[in-house]
Structure 1
């Protein structure tokens, strides 16, 4: 019996089979969960195709977390397949790589910054409130971040957006805690995902991890991160909320 046996999990933001969201959906299914995944727009067709590569093909929901109509209709969409949720995974982030990343911090235009903050940080709150009627005591919301306590090469305004995400998770933990809903984040090291490929100069971060992570770091292996997400979705962390769990080979704990 797996640690998510009988649980119903929504993984929001699954595009490619190289994504953390896809890996999380796979591990969650292997651990006994009924999984739903989501995407929107032109990427929705890709998500429907790669869904067939999971152990069990899950329902694919259309969800743009910046669209109030999509958020308002999410509960009904979910209830077409399951009668509630035990866990929600926020695997969503976007920042225009042409204006916000790769050393463009001082020139980033507000419209693009606002979009990055809404998609990458505010959407955690949007997704939490949209799914709140589906969640009971003991439920878990887990998001994905990239350590926002320091400034990284090339990451620029996405670093600011992730800092907003991390703060948002703590306030959600405060406000949803009385309902018995946990909110945590997993901070992964650099992984070769679609999002990473869009960041000019991201290879500099990858090299840094190779040099300094005491456990080593495989930037092509999403499984350790997915396992951490699934662990936080399970009942094995009943009193943990507002936390950021690092899955980075120990890099975050090392000095120069």
Structure 2
């Protein structure tokens, strides 16, 4: 079998609909030769239907990243489908409505956003470590550039900043295990996640004017390809990095 991920075993979280970055990551990973396992939570029947749209059938295992029992049992459930992992994709984020009101957001909403969107990168990665032994592997997460303050994003922006810092500390601590940890900072996309962001159109409008190479809000493919590249062996000594796949908006000045 040929391809960028030939023979690799990849766990992809966050697949809900075919509009998601996670779905297109799983699709491209399969086309590049990987065996893919998906995780889902809450709406498993929808995840399973979406999995059926992939080039090859992909099993779905249940995972709530806030449930320690789910995390503790993840390795065993994944082993029912593959004998180990070479890569893990973290495409999980959630913010209650209160997290999108910076001055009024209470700790219950903020802590939920941080736990699901940032701390879960550590939880997921450590749960998968037994599956990546002894060779190590590549962990790739999805972020939204947290170096600046965005309109309407509020505490989710803070959660993404925590995600980016978490990735760096994981890269530091897991390098000795042969585990690389990197992020793709993707531009905005019309997805299920976007529908939960109040004022998303105002946020996304920035890309209509500031992306020098252009940006399509309906095309998750470029971000997914960035993730697949980082899962591959083409970046064997890249870790703690954030690769921007955003049409160039991140580097534009006023």
Cross-structure match for 1:100: 99
- Aligned pairs for 1:100-119 (under 5 A) are 100-101=99-100, 104-119=101-116
- Structure 2 distance, partners of 1:228, 1:188, is 9
Given the two structures, how large is their TM-score scaled by the length of structure 2? 0.98
Contact 1:138 1:235 in 2 (8 A): no
Provide structure 2 residue ranges, at least 5 long, that are not aligned to the other structure.
Answer: none
Q: What's the secondary structure of 1:24's corresponding residue?
A: helix
- Structure 2 distance, partners of 1:72, 1:40, is 15
Given the two structures, how large is their TM-score scaled by the length of structure 1? 0.97
1:6 aligns with 2:7: yes
Q: After TM superposition, give the deviation of residue 193 of structure 1 in Å.
A: 1.2
CA deviation vs aligned residue, 1:169-204 (integer Å, no higher than 9, x gap): 000000000111000000001111111111111111
Q: How many residues align?
A: 252
Q: After TM superposition, give the deviation of residue 34 of structure 1 in Å.
A: 0.2
Q: What's the secondary structure of 1:53's corresponding residue?
A: coil
Deviates more, 1:214-223 or 1:199-208: 199-208
1:177 aligns with 2:175: yes
Q: What's the secondary structure of 2:52's corresponding residue?
A: helix
Cross-structure match for 1:163: 161
Contact 1:138 1:238 in 2 (8 A): no
- Structure 2 distance, partners of 1:161, 1:49, is 30
Q: What's the secondary structure of 1:176's corresponding residue?
A: helix
Please tell me the root mean square deviation across aligned C-alpha atoms, in Å.
Answer: 0.8
Q: After TM superposition, give the deviation of residue 205 of structure 1 in Å.
A: 2.1
1:129 aligns with 2:126: yes
